[in-house]
Chain A
Amino acid sequence: MKQGIFTITGHEALTKDVYRMALAGDTSAMSAPGQFVEISLPGFFLRRPISVCDYDASGLVIIYKVVGRGTEAMAAMKEGEKLDVITGLGNGFSPEKGGEKPLLVGGGVGVPPLYHLAKRLVAQGARPEVILGFNKAEEIFYEKEFAALGAGVTVTTVDGSAGVKGFVTAALPDAYSYVYSCGPMPMLRALYAATQGTAGEFSLEERMGCGFGACMGCSIMTKKGSRRVCKDGPVFEKEELAWQI
């Protein structure tokens, strides 16, 4: 992990309350898709943990949803402004485990960390199938971006206003080699039950204090005992998650 000053080089609303921010700065501490950053916002005590959507040597892209006063303040920031960011947090996904036809399932703001993963999977010759779940048509983002990578993309909406009507589990393909997912807990639970027998990695979200394993604020219980979402995760092998479904 590394602390650095990043400059906002792009900032746009993707939907009513979901924003995409491009940040230029030192990304040398980042090692895997699915890692996150901790952003310090002027006037707020705790940093904001936000997953990384994409990165290269010159910077990174985050996609975040306005959920409170901190992200509201962030949404008002302009290109050229600077942010204090800690990068390279968490373990991230393992693209090497994906096999030939990995399945990627994202729900809402769980979609972004799957983007760089899909990029890696395509680059290593896999043919990823991506399911993006939203509540309704107005909330959809990044459908075209995933398709542009060469991945197969299916959108689901709970109200049926676009794509397949229902939850992500309504659109599961017949065959897939591995499952990667990030999204709300109820979605992960349902996906866990629906993909029994296939190995995979799920990325969890939890309210964090520090983001680097010091405070025990985000501990969860797994089959291997207590784990910190920020440091031992946020990505866990799905079999490790002790859900009694």
Chain B
Amino acid sequence: MADLKVTLSGWELDNPLIPASGTFGYGYEFAELYDINMLGSFSFKGTTREPRFGNPTPRIAETPSGMINAVGMQNPGIDKVISEELPKLARCFHKKVIANIGGFSVEEYAECCAKIDKVEQVGLIELNVSCPNVHNGCMSFGTDPLGVSAVTKAAKAATSKPVYVKLSPNVTDIVPIAAAAAEAGADGISLINTLLGMRIDLRTKKPVIANKMGGFSGSAIFPVALRMVYQVYEAVKLPIIGMGGVTSACDVVEMMLAGATAVEIGSANLVDPWACPHILEELPAVMERYGIESLKDIIGGAH
């Protein structure tokens, strides 16, 4: 019997599959399609202190084997998420969820973490210091070791829940950034967020996306994500949630061999709403094919 269980900071997940923030809303769209309790957990839509409408449309462009989005952290704000979205989710999801928190100042991150701290439903906090689609926030913290350090320290001081820092790949070297998060007390690292990308419409001769640039995701970015997970695993002794272009059970195994304890699945959910159940169904056969009895045993196995 294949053992799919993994543990993130003392929290045991039935399997390593976690739909990534921004591709799964607050869960209930997918709960209409399948029993989302089969998932390890999921990371909810990036949430900020204030409600945000996000960027003007078009927000989406296609790329070879991928897509670009510039949604811009659209969300109803932390208070409404706690008072409305999470109680609604509790009716269809009985496991703990990952709270993805974004912000525009150190204080804002801390305030959101303090609010989430009291929410029983949240298993861990994923600090989003890497959203490329908002100005003066998120990614501007995540591309600077000092910024990452300040946000991580403030979050840790505000909550007793495990804090995972979600890093941006849009840096020269991911290692010092991950190290800064670790030194500041992070309980884990989550990577990668989207790569900054762009498309130009040949008919209008202007960028496809209203915000000009956006976050590039999809299977095209998988090798970049895998490489960064591998590098961070070497450099930092913290659990890693790996993500970026994962679309199959083989990708999940590869990501875990690079060093991920759990794996987030993003854009794949948007083109195949049943992507996660499909991957979960495939996993035991893939494990058997490659002689893997327990997923726990292969974490970082490629090193």
A-side residues, CB < 8 A to B, are 1, 3, 40, 44-47, 70, 86, 206-210, 212-221, 226, 231
**With a CB–CB cut-off of 8 A, which chain B residues contact A231?**
29
- The 3 A-B pairs at the shortest CB distance, nearest first, are namely A210-B270, A207-B58, A217-B60
CB pair B271 A218 closer than 8 Å: no
| Residues in B lying within 8 Å of A, measured CB to CB | 22-25, 29-30, 33, 45, 53-54, 57-67, 69, 71, 74, 208, 218-219, 267, 269-274
Q: Are A44 and B62 in contact (CB under 8 A)?
A: yes
Please tell me if the beta carbons of A219 and B23 are within 8 angstroms of each other in the complex: no
Neighbouring B residues of A218 by C-beta, 8 Å: 57, 59-60
- Quick check: A45 and B71 within 8 Å, CB to CB? no
Q: Which of A47, A70, A214, A215 is the most central at the interface, judged by chain B CB atoms within 10 Å of its CB?
A: A215
- Is B22 within 8 A of A47, CB to CB? no
Q: Nearest Cβ distance between residue B264 and chain A, in whole angstroms? A: 14
Instruction: Check A207–B59 contact: CB distance below 8 A.
Output: yes
Residues of B near A45 (CB, < 8 A) are 62-67, 218-219, 267, 271
With A3-B274, A210-B269, A214-B29 known as contacts, the answer to whether A219 contacts B63 (CB < 8 A) is no
Bound-state CA distance A1–B274 (Å) is: 12
A210 to B67, CA, bound (A): 11
* Contact, CB under 8 Å: B271 / A215: no
Q: Check B218 against A86 for contact (C-beta < 8 Å).
A: no
Q: How long is the Cα–Cα vector from A60 to B248 in the complex, in angstroms?
A: 31
Question: Given A3-B274, A214-B24, A216-B74, does the pair A70, B59 have CB atoms closer than 8 Å?
Answer: no
Task: Determine if A209 and B57 form an interchain contact, defined as CB atoms under 8 angstroms apart.
Answer: no
The total number of A-B Cβ pairs within 8 Å is: 88
A148 to B203: give the CA distance in the assembly, Å: 37
In the complex, which of the residues B30, B45, B67 contacts A46, with contact meaning CB atoms closer than 8 Å? B67
- Tell me, rounded to whole Å, the shortest Cβ–Cβ distance linking A143 to chain B: 27
**CA separation between A219 and B51, bound complex, in Å?**
14
With A212-B29, A216-B45, A219-B57 known as contacts, the answer to whether A40 contacts B271 (CB < 8 A) is yes
Complex CA distance for A221 and B33, rounded to whole angstroms? 27
Q: Which residue of A lies closest to B220 (CB)?
A: A45
* B61, B63, B71, B270 — most chain A CB neighbours (10 Å): B270
**Residue contact B273 to A212, C-beta cutoff 8 Å:** yes
A226 to B76, CA, bound (A): 10
> Given A40-B271, A226-B53, A231-B29, are A215 and B69 neighbors across the interface (CB < 8 Å)?
yes
The 27 listed contacts between A and B (C-beta, < 8 Å) are A3-B272, A40-B271, A45-B65, A45-B67, A46-B60, A46-B62, A47-B271, A207-B58, A208-B60, A209-B60, A210-B273, A212-B29, A213-B29, A214-B23, A214-B269, A214-B273, A215-B22, A215-B71, A216-B45, A216-B54, A216-B59, A217-B69, A218-B57, A219-B53, A219-B59, A226-B53, A231-B29
| Chain B nearest CB, measured from A211 CB (Å) | 8
Q: Which residue from chain A places its CB closest to the CB of B63 in the assembled complex?
A: A45
Q: How far is the CB of B154 from chain A (nearest CB, A)?
A: 27
Cα separation A225 to B49 with both chains bound (whole Å): 18
A216 near B71: Cβ-Cβ < 8 Å: yes
- Give the docked Cα–Cα distance between A44 and B30 (Å): 23
Q: Is the CB of A207 within 8 A of B269?
A: no
Which residues of chain B are within 8 angstroms of A226 by Cβ–Cβ distance?
53, 74
Which residue among A47, A86, A216, A219 has the maximum number of chain B CB atoms within 10 Å of its CB? Answer: A216
Taking the closest CB of chain A, its distance from the CB of B83, in whole angstroms, is 16
> Which of B29, B61, B66, B269 gathers most chain A CB within 10 Å?
B29
> A206 to B71, Cβ gap below 8 A?
no
